[in-house]
Homo-oligomer: A and B are copies of this chain.
Amino acid sequence: MANSKYEYVKFFEKESTLIPETYIIIRVDGRGFHKLSDKYGFKKPNDHNALELMNISAQKIMENIPDVVMAYGDSDEYSFLLRKNCELFERREFKLITTFSSTFTAYYQFYWSSFFPETPLEVDRLPTFDARAVVYPNAHNVRDYFSWRQVDCHINNLYNTTFWNLILKGGMTAKEAENRLKGSVSADKHEILFKQFNINYNNEPEVYKKGSVFVREIEDVSDLEVTSNDNLESGSSSITSSSVKSKTISPYMKDALSKRQKDRIQKKLRKSKIRLFHCDIIRDEFWDKRPWLLI
């Protein structure tokens, strides 16, 4: 074929494939959103429309990509959890992360005018997002990852709420507010808010304090279980390693599932409901209720 003379250049491509049977988390992050939020006049400390725009974009991602079983977001970032046996793009990293960054960007721009009808986007400051994939070998890590993001959300929101009240109601400059908060601990900020601005932080909206969680609701997990090397199904009760017994028909075997089985799982995932919460995802309760998230 005429093209073959140059085709050797393809051999310089390096493929990074994410290790099988691990949880993939893809975090999408707004690029330069500090300037962007100034440019388009986002409200401080939280712009409800901007958060809803993030949320609808995340929700559309979940509707489109059945392997995403959960998403958590706050501020200008969103983290998507892909189930352990996900084979999307054969787990090729570049495909996964550029698809997420591109698709999130597309939804965000598409829905912009619904949330900011008075503020059209300008070409020199379009919202864009980078994305990275991280792989976690076990359910503990995944829970700790989401705890990490939610603690981060809490810390930032408490700081920002206090900071912006000092400025907007307290008449401070940004520099003065920054100095006022330097070295302050959580309790100090609660006190400033309460004594100076009569704000009980605990009564602030949950969406600001906790962020947003989308969950794919699956009523009957039996179909999914066959694909997992899940510890949940085995009623192991002792120190013996019975929970890690090899099954006669190992479910971990590459290609163990027939095309038909895989299609059924995809279909089940696709038609499942996606629900939005603003709740604690650090404690057990959230996860105990939804064992399929960590299958």
Is A94's CB under 8 angstroms from B254's CB? no
Interface size of A in residues (CB-CB distance below 8 Å) = 92
Q: Report Cα–Cα, A186/B1, bound state, in Å.
A: 11
- Copies of this protein chain in the complex: 4
| Contact of A12 with B134 at beta-carbon distance under 8 Å, contacts A98-B101, A129-B98, A143-B244 already known | yes
Question: Closest approach, in angstroms, between the C-beta of A65 and any C-beta of chain B?
Answer: 12
In the complex, which of the residues A135, A233, A256 has the most CB atoms of chain B within 10 Å of its own CB atom? A135
Is B2's CB under 8 angstroms from A151's CB? yes
Interface residues of A in 1-15 (CB under 8 A from B): 2-3, 5-14
Is B60's CB under 8 angstroms from A123's CB? yes
Interface residues of A in 121-172 (CB under 8 A from B): 121, 123, 126-141, 143-145, 147-148, 151-152, 155
Nearest residue, chain B, Cβ from A143: B246
Q: Report Cα–Cα, A35/B246, bound state, in Å.
A: 37
> Which of chain B's residues have a CB closer than 8 A to the CB of A103?
126, 128
> Which of chain B's residues have a CB closer than 8 A to the CB of A8?
144, 250, 252-256
Name the contact of A141 in the complex, choosing from B136, B243, B252 (C-beta under 8 A): B252
Tell me if A227 is interfacial: C-beta within 8 Å of chain B. Answer: no
The interface of chain A, by Cβ under 8 A from chain B, is 2-3, 5-14, 16-17, 19-22, 31, 60, 94-95, 97-107, 109-111, 121, 123, 126-141, 143-145, 147-148, 151-152, 155, 186, 221, 229, 231-233, 235-246, 250, 252-256, 282, 284, 287-288, 291, 294
> Which of chain B's residues have a CB closer than 8 A to the CB of A246?
140, 143-144, 147, 282, 284
